[in-house]
Amino acid sequence: MSSYKELLSQIEALKQQAEAQRKSEISNVVADIRAKMQEYGITAADLGSGSRVSRNKGTTVAAKYRNPSTGDTWTGRGKMPKWLQAEVGTGKRKEDFLIV
């Protein structure tokens, strides 16, 4: 039976072999993909690569809460604004400021 140190050495050698094999296979796969892309005229944009833009980016959300004295509003998303925190701190309810 092998000793613990010998087994660790074998594990390390296998890890190195596995990584080398992985790199070799990846380069072959990438070359194959590039060849097929060129053959069919496919671009990276066709694959959906490039910048990922959220579908919701740039959309605005209607205000849900309003401070009647100052006109400040809050959509109800994210951190509660200081003006509403102060009002809630005085005993009022958040629902008292709902925009109807």
Q: Encode the chain (100 residues) as per-residue pLDDT tens digits.
A: 789 999 999 999 999 999 999 999 999 999 999 999 999 999 888 888 666 666 777 788 899 999 988 999 999 999 999 999 999 999 999 999 999 8
Q: pTM of the full predicted structure?
A: 0.43
Residue 31 exposure: Cα atoms within 13 Å on the Cβ side: 6
Q: Which residues contact 64 (CB under 8 A, 6 or more apart)?
A: 73, 74, 75, 76, 98, 99
Would you kindly state where each structural domain of the chain is located, as residue ranges?
1-52, 65-97
Residue 66's H or E segment, with its range, is strand 65-66
